[in-house]
Structures are given as structure tokens and as C-alpha cells.
Chains A and B, each alone.
Chain A
């Protein structure tokens, strides 16, 4: 069965530190990849998405992610985090069979200390 794994469950950083959150998926075919963010008290919001083309995708608020097909990975990065980046981050995948189903990782809680 397809699955998504996020390696870090809880990350604590100081402001201005660099961020990298790992995401790996298990599926051998074509995939669409997403990162969602949930700020405290808010709904899930789309940070960025990858469908095809350039494997380095840029999203909102300075986030980017790189799709490495050979490693089945889609890691999220930000060069310098801010206190306002404190949130829960979810990696998600849907496979190209048009099931409508997003498969989510367990989420990573990021805490940024001012």
C-alpha cells in the first residue's frame, strides 16, 4: 500500500536557522506531491505542490521543496525560519490513478523560538 513517511515529528529551531523537513513516499509510479501547513487555530493551507517539470518548486512564504525521484523524496526547505513559521507541516501524495485520495504523512510540528 502507498504510504508517506515524515522523519521528524517535532523540530525546534531558533529564528534565522535553516529548515529541512524530510518526506518519503512509497509508490513506484507517477505521483503528485504536496506540502500543507496548519498554523495554530487555522485550517490546512497549501504551501507548495509538484506535478511535473522542474523538480525544485517554490511555494509561499519562502518555502521550497525538491523532488528527487530516485530517492522517492520531497523534502521541504527554508533558508531562514521566522517565529511565524511555527506550525504543523504535512507532506501528502496522490497517485496518478485519479482516486481523489491524498495520502498524508503523520505531520511535523515545527516550533521556532524567537
Chain B
């Protein structure tokens, strides 16, 4: 079974630009989650999408947004990039919204802001 796939692997942007990160969940999974892993800050929850709807978001400014498509893939958009947005962005997926379904992670997109 194919795992969670993320693209691109690396993304280099400058301050003020916009970045789009993409995620394809495991086949059959309807929930997609986004996390930020910044140096020294650990893994921080960003967003949760399920069945095309945003179900929850973490403590991040509105310039972090996303969407989930009918095929359950997802995009994370970061507008007005700042230097501190440099991080590894991880996508995870799970089967539905049930709590007893563990999240499965992709390899991540490393976003570097110059």
C-alpha cells in the first residue's frame, strides 16, 4: 500500500512570497492533518481536514490555510512568508474521524525561507 506522499520534497522561497505544499493520503483515508516541525519547537499541529471540511486548526496565524479536495488530497498554503516559517511540514492521514485511528505520516516538505 502506498503511504502518504508529499510534494515537493524541498521548497525555497523568499520573504513575502507564497508557498503551496501538497499531500496525498493513503488510499481510503479521508482525514488529512498538517504539522509544522520547526527547529527547537517540535511537532506542532497546524490543520485538520476531513471530508473536505476544515475540522480544527492549531495556534497559527490566518496566513496558514489549506483545503481538501474531493479525492481527499490536500494543499497547505502559506502566504506572506516569514523567516520563521522555515521548517519541515508534515502531512498525515487517517481513516475517518474516529479517535482510535492512528495518523500515518509522510516524508514532509522542507520549506526554506531566504
Contacts and interface: CB of A to CB of B under 8 A. Distances in A.
A16 interface: no
Interface residues of B, number: 25
A25 interface: no
B13 interface: no
Nearest to B31: A100
24 contacts: A36-B105, A42-B107, A43-B3, A43-B4, A43-B105, A43-B108, A44-B90, A44-B92, A44-B105, A46-B102, A92-B43, A94-B99, A96-B99, A99-B56, A100-B50, A100-B55, A100-B56, A100-B97, A101-B45, A101-B58, A102-B45, A102-B92, A104-B42, A107-B42
Interface of A: 32, 34, 36, 42-46, 49, 51, 90, 92, 94, 96, 98-107
